[in-house]
Amino acid sequence: MPVEKSALDSTDLDALQVAAKAAAEDVIRSHGWKGMVEDADLLGTDERYLVLADPVVVLSMIEEVRNLRQMLQQPRVPDGFALVPKSMLLSKDVIGVINFHCGDTDQEEGGQFGQYTDGRLWVGYVLDDDGNKVHGLHIATDEYPEEGSTTLIEFPAPGTQPEPEECGACGGCTKGCQLDKDSPAAQL
């Protein structure tokens, strides 16, 4: 049997809230529950229910349900974590950038730094050379963060819509496609 409305449907909550507010302000309530229940000849179970279903309690429960709904509608990414594309292509150029920041091979073998060093990856915004905010995956040498960072892959922040751009490689895709060799791809 299909259920048309759940007990927690927002319109039901609104109606329940109005009824509970009206009941809380009812003049008869000022005389107390006990006498009312006995006069109405209700069963003991009804009395227990009416005491538990006090309008103040119902209003509190409605507020709690609304707060829970609001929490559930918030993004579910824990603090300290970021939502990223499920797949990111690291082209050989990007690997070169990682090697530039963190070393490549021993100097005897023609490497620039001679040894690998720690690097720090993070997701978020940085300012590019023109002062524009760029969101994506970035890297910096951990030992010398003051030397700056490089954006490895650019992708839109969660909840934002990327603006379509033509990359020029295929004549109609968005920037970052597999054909655009200047921009690493990110699958959203």
At 24-76, the pLDDT tens digits run 666 555 455 555 555 555 555 556 666 667 778 888 888 898 888 888 887 67
At 67-109, the pLDDT tens digits run 888 888 876 777 777 888 888 888 888 888 888 778 766 666 6
CA angle 40, 41, 44 (to 5 degrees): 115
Q: Which residues, in sequence order, are CB contacts of 128 under 8 Å at separation 6+?
A: 134, 151
Helix (H) or strand (E) holding 157: none
Residue 164 binned pLDDT confidence (cut-offs 50, 70, 90): low
Determine the longest span between alpha carbons in the chain, in angstroms. 99
Secondary structure of 4-32 as H, E, C letters: CCCCCCHHHHHHHHHHHHHHHCCHHHHHC
CA distance linking residue 145 with residue 157, whole number of Å: 23
pLDDT of residue 179: 45
Residue 135 binned pLDDT confidence (cut-offs 50, 70, 90): very high
* Lookup: tokens for 157: 């922040």
Predicted TM-score (pTM) above 0.85? no
At 143-160, the pLDDT tens digits run 778 888 889 999 888 877
CA distance linking residue 144 with residue 148, whole number of Å: 8
CA distance linking residue 186 with residue 33, whole number of Å: 64
* Lookup: tokens for 39: 């006069």
Q: Is 36 exposed, middle or buried (0-12, 13-18, 19+ CB in 10 A)?
A: middle
Which sequence spans correspond to the domains of the chain?
10-73, 87-187
